[in-house]
Amino acid sequence: MTPSRNLRPRQKRTYSSGSWVHVGETAQISNAVGPSSNRSHIRRSVSSTPLRDTGAASTRWNERKPIPLSDIVPSDIVILILGITGSGMSNFINKLTGVEEERESRQLVSCTKDVKAYACVRGRQRFIFVDTPGFNATYMSQRAVFTKTAEWLQSTYQMSIKLTGVIYMHRITDTYESGTAYQSFRIFSGMCGEKAADRVRLVTTMWDEEYEQPRSLQMESRLKTEWGSLLNAGASYERFYNTADSAWQIVNGLGYQRKALLLQREIVDMGKKMEETTAGMRVPREERKPTGFFDLVKRLFGF
C-alpha cells in the first residue's frame, strides 16, 4: 500500500442491499436459513445458473458483526474475498450489506486483521461474505495472512462447506510493478487451482472515479494479460463501480454452484502441510514486519 492511498471519509448510507443477520436470529428471517442448532437447509439443485436478483431487503440490524465459523451451514452461499491491502475488499462487503464495517479511524495502514465472516440475507438465501487481511497487510507477513486464510478454508471444508465464489480485488488505479501484486496473484491462483477457476471473479475497483480514463483502460488490458492463466481456465473478469447494484451483479453472476479449492483438496484430501501446497510454496519466506510506530513511519515514508 502506498501512502497516497485514497482514503475518503466514511459516511453512513443506505444502499440497496441484503439484511444483516445476527447469530441466533437467523430463524426469524426465513425457514430456509437457520442457525447451526437448527440446520434445516434449503435443498436446491446445484447449477451455475446466475442467481435471479430478488431485489432489496430492508436492513434489520444496522450493525456489522462477524459470525463464528460454527454458524456457517452448507446451504449458505459462501463467498471469500481476497486481494491486496486497500484494494476494496471490506468496502465491497459494505456495499453488499449496506452496513459499514466498524473501523477505529481513517488509517493509512491496513484495517482488516483477521478472516471474518459476515452473514446477510437476500430474498430467501443467506450469503456469507468472508473478509480477509490484504496479502501485503501492514502488520502481518504474507505467510501469516496466507496461514490465517488457509486455516479458515481448511476448517470450512472439514465442515462440508464449499465456496460458491472467490473474489480477487485490485484497484485499477494501482500499479502492477511493485512485485506485491504479482506475488499476491500467484498465491491466489495457487489457492484456487484450475478446477475451481469458474468460481473465481477477478474484480477491479475504483471505476466510479476512473471511468474510461486511458490509464485505467491500459491497466485493465495489462491485468487481463497478467491474470491470463486463471481467465483461460474459466475465471471471469469484472469491474466494480462502487455501488450496491454493481456488487450484487458480481455476486449473483456466480450462481449456486459450490466447489472445493485446490488448497482445500491439498490440505484435507491429500494431507499436505500448508507450506507444501501449490499456494504455500509460492509464499515468500517470513519477512520481518513493522511492529512499532517508528517501524511503521519508516515503512510508509521509506527511510
Ligand X SMILES: Nc1nc2c(ncn2[C@@H]2O[C@H](COP(=O)(O)OP(=O)(O)OP(=O)(O)O)[C@@H](O)[C@H]2O)c(=O)[nH]1
Q: Which residues bind ligand X (CB under 6 A)?
A: 6-8, 83, 85-91, 110-112, 133-134, 137, 205-206, 208-209, 240, 242
Nearer CB in complex with Mg ion: 94/189: 94
Instruction: Please state the closest distance from residue 195 (CB atom) to ligand X, in A.
Output: 27
Span 111-170, contacts to Mg ion by CB under 5 A: 111-112
For 241, the grid coordinates are: 463501480
196-225 binders of Mg ion (CB under 5 A):
none
* Pick 17 or 87: Cβ nearer ligand X: 87
- Smallest gap from residue 90 Cβ to ligand X (A): 3
- When CB distances are held under 5 to 8 angstroms depending on the partner's kind, the choice from Mg ion, ligand X, none that residue 17 binds is none
Closest CB 237 distance from Mg ion, rounded Å: 22
Q: Is the CB of 134 or the CB of 165 nearer to ligand X?
A: 134
Q: 18 vs 193, which CB is nearer to ligand X? A: 18
Closest CB to ligand X belongs to which residue?
88
Closer residue to Mg ion (CB): 57 or 78? 78
CB of 81 to Mg ion, least distance (A): 9
Nearer to ligand X, 195 or 239 (CB): 239
Measured from the CB of residue 13, what is the shortest distance to Mg ion in angstroms? 18
Site for Mg ion in 76-95 (CB under 5 A): 89-90
Partner touching 242 among Mg ion, ligand X, none, CB below 5 to 8 Å by kind: ligand X
CB of 112 vs Mg ion, minimal distance in Å: 3
98 binds, among ligand X, Mg ion, none (CB under 5 to 8 A by kind): none
Closest separation in Å from C-beta 248 to ligand X: 14
For the bound state, the minimum distance from the C-beta of residue 35 to ligand X, rounded and expressed in Å, comes to: 27
DSSP the chain: --TT-----------S--EE--TTTGGGT-TTS--GGG--PPP-----PPPP-------S------B-GGG--TTSEEEEEEESTTSSHHHHHHHHHS-PPP-SS--SS----S-EEEEEEETTEEEEEEE---TT-SSS-HHHHHHHHHHHHHHHHHTT--BSEEEEEEETTS-STTSHHHHHHHHHHHHH-GGGGGGEEEEEE-HHHHTT-HHHHHHHHHHHHHTHHHHHHT-EEEE--SSHHHHHHHHHTT-S--B--HHHIIIIIS---GGGSTTGGGSPPP-----SHHHHHHHHHT-
With a CB cutoff of 8 Å and minimum separation 6, the contacts of 225 are none
Residues near 117 by Cβ (< 8 Å), separated by ≥ 6? 66, 67, 68, 69, 72, 78, 128, 129, 130, 131
Q: Considering beta carbons, is residue 33 or 145 the nearer one to ligand X?
A: 145
Decide whether 153 or 262 has the Cβ nearer to Mg ion.
Answer: 153
Question: Could you tell me which residues come within 8 angstroms of residue 218 by beta carbon, excluding any fewer than 6 positions away?
Answer: none
Smallest CA-to-CA distance from 91 within 28, 152, 171 is with: 171
205 binds, options ligand X, Mg ion, none, Cβ within 5 to 8 A by partner type: ligand X
Which residues sit at the interface with Mg ion, rule CB under 5 A? Answer: 89-90, 111-112
